[in-house]
């Protein structure tokens, strides 16, 4: 190696070392920046994840408490309903709601902290005491002991319920506030992260810009989630309408504003009629889609500032912050019902729906959302049970509830104590004079009030769970009597009337088949009578059930024909074997030529459709002669025989046959 080469290489070593050092420093700085950026990103992500998780847990607990709050409100509503309309259906719903409350408390205990678990356990114990008190009250209702019912309500159930409701509602409100607080903390954390991010990422330049972009997108996502979480906590997930929480919040503001300004607010409660049948027939998917369409259509009627909320199931509520009077509220209720008249099309299927509306006014009917909603529910129930469509709350409607409660309690006991008996009215063939059947008609022999007309208790039974047991009792008793007549060598067709609710019961054919088998009565000796109004209530369901009954060999008859709205197109598609002309046309045939013409036309119509025709309400010989002239097949009425007990019916039949044999003998001798 030459000396000059050695000298020339010496200065390069320090430069290489500096470059290496710089490279190492740069690498260290870069690594430090990356580590710092990564550490910051990890910290930010974990901190926001923990905050988001805390918000999710708080929201979940809030949902559980809200569920418990709804269950408590439902318990109160069903307790009141049972006192008005005791029945196994209401009691079963009450048990389901009570179980739902217990399940909600279990979820609170499973997901909450120590305080939540302690509160849930305390509420569970209080609820057990409340259920025990409720059982005693329901037993008192069933026993018709109104005084005991009121005493239990004042001493036990009401204080226990108030304590539970206050605790649950307070916990629900507290956890709702906690959700809002957690979301606020999350927002503050996002703000802090947003402020620190530029200072951390400025060292990394391009890395900072990239990370800022990522963080900005993440923040937008969290903002959207926060807004969505807040929206979901205040709106119904199916329809997007405000839920009970938001309705109550707006209702409180409206009531405060109305009190300050001296105006009036109104609350309407809307319940869809026969919605359950749509769910049962087409499935819950159709029901859910229908609820969305119903909500959209009713919203189109409302004005600015008016709130429509879905409370659950097929129940909606309308808040009217300013209303003139109850007449104006009823008018809006009528408009809401009117927009539902046009069928809703769900996946090609036209669905008809109606609604019952109950309304209340602030000040006049209450100044608290819970009180107003409770009384709107009472008004809605009156509108539904009395087919009024829309009804404004009237305190006097509760004045009759004790009498109705007592009568319903008596009716329940009458089913098991033999007070309900059947009377039979014969049907006579007008050509041969033979007795071709007997209609079974229920009578209530009350031990105190005497004979009670079916018109007084059948409507009550139809609006409660008693119509099912009552129909079963009549069917079973009538077939038992049919078996007696068969064993006596004098078989006779027995007619039993079905209510509109019976045609909504998919279990009806099975029930009839089991009763026929139990009493060993041939199906052809049973005739079921259905009114035109019952057919029109749910024509598709009615046609399906009637077809099943006809396949079993059971005779089917349209009762009170001419008084309803059965179309000829519908009539020809029904498996009907007999038409019964409504008695309103028969009673006045001698005085009103138009009634005679209608009766004659119905007879011709029935014969042309291959059906037999029976006239009911025959009370004079003149009416019987008219019907014979019109070629009517058979008749029944007071002129032939009033409805009588089975024993009296047998005596009448023997006397009728003897009289007929005597007439035949005289005819032969002549």
User: Do 438 and 649 touch, CB atoms closer than 8 A?
Assistant: yes
- φ/ψ of 529, rounded to 5, equals -105, 130
Of 437, 552, 421, the residue nearest 476 (C-alpha): 421
Kindly state the average pLDDT of the residues 358-384: 86
Q: What pLDDT digit, counting tens, does each position of 462-483 carry?
A: 766 678 888 899 999 999 999 9
3-class secondary structure, 499? coil
The residues facing 362 across adjacent strands are none
Pinpoint the alpha helices (H) of 567-645: 568-572, 583-587, 593-608, 621-629
Number of other residues whose CB lies within 10 A of the CB of residue 113: 10
- Of 37-41, 90-94, 333-337, where does mean pLDDT reach its minimum? 37-41
Helix, strand and coil percent figures for the chain, each rounded to 5? 65, 15, 20
What b/e readout covers 37-55, taking b as 16+ CB neighbours within 10 angstroms? beebbeebeeebeebbebb
Which CATH code is given to the segment(s) 418-576+640-669?
3.20.20.450
Q: What is the pLDDT of residue 382?
A: 79
pLDDT tens sequence across 183-235: 777 777 777 777 777 777 676 666 666 666 756 666 787 777 788 777 888 88
Name the burial class of residue 584, with classes exposed (0-12), middle (13-18) and buried (19+) by CB atoms within 10 angstroms of its CB. Answer: middle
Inform me whether the pLDDT recorded for 524 exceeds 80.
yes
DSSP secondary structure string for all residues of 624-662:
HHHHHHTT--EEESTTT---B-HHHHHHHHHHHHHHHHH
Q: CA separation (Å) from 602 to 488, 559, 561?
A: 36, 13, 8
* Of the candidates 473, 494, 483, the residue with the CA atom closest to the CA atom of residue 412: 473
Residue 15 has a pLDDT of 45
As a whole number, the mean pLDDT across the chain is 82
Whole-angstrom distance, CA of residue 65 vs CA of residue 71: 10
Cβ(230)–Cβ(183) under 8 Å?
yes
Q: Which residues contact 547 (CB under 8 A, 6 or more apart)?
A: 575
Q: Which one has a higher pLDDT value, 19 or 410?
A: 410
Are 259 and 317 in contact, with CB atoms under 8 Å apart?
no
**How sure is the predictor about 42, in pLDDT bands with cuts at 50, 70 and 90?**
confident
Which numeric CATH code is attached to 244-396? 3.30.70.270
Q: How far apart are CA 537 and CA 555, in angstroms?
A: 21
- Alpha-carbon span 203 to 35, nearest angstrom: 12
Give, as one character, the DSSP assignment of residue 280: H
DSSP letter at 153? I
């Amino acid at each position: 190696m030459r000396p000059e080469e050695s000298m020339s290489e010496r200065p390069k070593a320090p430069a290489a070392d500096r470059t290496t050092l710089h490279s190492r420093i740069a690498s260290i700085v870069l690594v430090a920046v990356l580590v710092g950026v990564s550490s910051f990103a990890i910290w930010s992500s974990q901190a926001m994840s923990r905050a988001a998780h805390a918000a999710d847990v708080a929201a979940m607990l809030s949902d559980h408490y809200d569920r418990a709050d709804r269950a408590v409100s439902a318990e109160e509503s069903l307790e009141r309903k049972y006192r008005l309309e005791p029945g196994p259906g209401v009691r079963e719903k009450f048990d389901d709601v009570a179980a739902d409350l217990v399940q909600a408390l279990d979820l609170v205990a499973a997901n909450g902290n120590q305080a939540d678990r302690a509160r849930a356990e305390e509420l569970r114990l209080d609820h057990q005491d409340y259920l025990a008190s409720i059982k005693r009250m329901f037993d008192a209702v069933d026993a018709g002991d109104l005084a005991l019912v009121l005493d239990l309500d004042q001493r036990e159930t009401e204080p226990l319920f108030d304590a539970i409701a206050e605790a649950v509602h307070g916990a629900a409100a507290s956890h709702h506030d906690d959700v809002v607080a957690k979301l606020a903390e999350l927002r503050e954390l996002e703000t802090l992260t947003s402020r620190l991010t530029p200072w951390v990422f400025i060292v990394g330049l391009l890395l900072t810009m990239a990370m800022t972009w990522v963080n900005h997108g993440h923040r937008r996502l969290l903002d959207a989630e926060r807004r969505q979480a807040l929206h979901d906590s205040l709106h119904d997930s199916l329809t997007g309408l405000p839920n009970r929480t938001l309705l109550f919040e707006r209702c409180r503001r409206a009531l405060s504003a109305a009190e300050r300004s001296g105006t009036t607010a109104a609350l309407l409660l809307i319940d869809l009629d026969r919605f359950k049948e749509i769910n049962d027939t087409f499935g819950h998917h159709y029901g859910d889609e229908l609820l969305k369409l119903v909500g959209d259509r009713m919203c189109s009627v409302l004005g600015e500032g008016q709130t429509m909320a879905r409370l659950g199931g097929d129940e909606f509520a309308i808040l009217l912050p300013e209303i003139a009077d109850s007449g104006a509220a009823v008018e809006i209720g009528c408009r809401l019902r009117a927009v539902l008249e046009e069928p809703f099309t769900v996946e090609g299927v036209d669905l008809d729906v109606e609604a019952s509306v109950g309304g209340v006014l602030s000040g006049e009917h209450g100044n608290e959302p819970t009180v107003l909603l409770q009384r709107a529910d009472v008004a809605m129930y009156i509108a539904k049970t009395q087919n009024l469509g829309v009804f404004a709350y009237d305190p006097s409607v509760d004045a009759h509830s004790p009498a109705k409660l007592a009568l319903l309690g008596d009716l329940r006991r009458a089913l098991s104590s033999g007070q309900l008996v059947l009377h039979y009215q014969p049907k006579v063939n007008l050509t041969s004079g033979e007795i071709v059947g007997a209609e079974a008609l229920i009578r209530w022999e009350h031990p105190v009030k005497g004979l009670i007309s079916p018109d007084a208790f059948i409507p009550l039974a139809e609006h409660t769970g008693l119509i099912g047991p009552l129909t079963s009792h009549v069917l079973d008793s009538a077939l038992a009597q049919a078996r007696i007549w068969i064993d006596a060598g004098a078989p006779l067709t027995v007619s039993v009337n079905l209510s509109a609710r019976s045609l909504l019961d998919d279990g009806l054919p099975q029930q009839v088949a089991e009763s026929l088998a139990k009493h060993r009565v041939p199906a052809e000796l049973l005739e079921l009578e259905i009114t035109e109004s019952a057919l029109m209530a749910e024509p598709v369901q009615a046609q399906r059930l009637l077809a099943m009954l006809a396949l079993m060999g059971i005779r089917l008859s349209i009762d009170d024909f001419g008084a309803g709205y059965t179309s000829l197109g519908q009539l020809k598609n029904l498996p009907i074997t007999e038409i019964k002309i409504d008695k309103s046309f028969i009673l006045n045939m001698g005085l009103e030529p138009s009634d005679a013409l209608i009766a004659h036309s119905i007879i011709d119509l029935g014969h042309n459709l291959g059906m037999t025709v029976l006239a009911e309400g025959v009370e004079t010989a003149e009416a019987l002669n008219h019907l014979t002239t019109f070629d009517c097949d058979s008749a029944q009425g007071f002129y032939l025989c009033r409805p009588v007990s089975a024993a009296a019916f047998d005596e009448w039949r023997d006397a009728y046959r003897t009289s007929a044999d005597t007439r035949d003998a005289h005819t032969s001798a002549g």
